[in-house]
């Protein structure tokens, strides 16, 4: 049986989904950096993977659930900068712009997000909107 053609990862890296954020979503690998976690969370929004979003949310700021807006389509992610958040840090921040289409309208979300390690794994804490 032929393998289906791998689709490119929604996070914007030039890699197949299965070799990129798909490993984190499936739980077979953990995001090694805050930026990798941020990208995988964006990809989870694209794929509407609420379980992954919740398990990568800091327990202190995690909402009871994640609702996806059915009219909204995420169309691209641009990571603008990252501070700390490497294998040697406990905290990190990532600044990004995520573009979306909402009905006929285009928009973008520009945010500086904070990440921390909990039991060794990177999780999202919170973020500030920029603009």
d(CA 123, CA 58): 5
C-beta of residue 10 within 8 angstroms of C-beta of residue 42: yes
CB 77, min distance to Zn ion, A = 9
Q: Which of 11, 34, 94, 98 binds Zn ion (CB under 5 A)?
A: 11
Closest CA to 55 of 23, 63, 90, 13: 63
Nearer to Zn ion, 14 or 65 (CB): 14
CB 104, min distance to Zn ion, A = 28
Q: Can you tell me which residue has the tokens 């700021």?
A: 61
98 near Zn ion (CB under 5 A): no
CB 8, min distance to Zn ion, A = 9
9 near Zn ion (CB under 5 A): yes
> Per CB under 5 A, which of residues 15..74 are in contact with Zn ion?
20-21
d(CA 10, CA 54): 19
Nearer to Zn ion, 43 or 123 (CB): 43
C-beta of residue 46 within 8 angstroms of C-beta of residue 68: no
Contacting residues toward Zn ion, per CB under 5 A:
9, 11, 13, 20-21
């Amino acid at each position: 049986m032929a393998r289906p053609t791998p689709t490119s990862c929604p996070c914007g890296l030039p890699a197949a989904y299965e070799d990129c954020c798909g490993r984190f979503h499936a739980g077979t690998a953990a995001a090694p950096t805050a930026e990798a976690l941020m990208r995988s969370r964006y990809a989870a929004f694209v794929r509407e993977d609420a379980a992954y979003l919740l398990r990568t949310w800091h327990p202190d700021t995690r909402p009871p659930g994640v609702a996806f807006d059915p009219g909204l389509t995420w169309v691209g992610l641009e990571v603008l900068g990252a501070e700390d958040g490497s294998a040697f840090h406990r905290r990190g921040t990532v600044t990004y712009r995520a573009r979306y289409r909402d009905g006929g309208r285009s928009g973008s979300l520009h945010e500086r997000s904070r990440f921390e390690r909990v039991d060794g794994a990177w999780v999202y804490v919170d973020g500030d909107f920029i603009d």
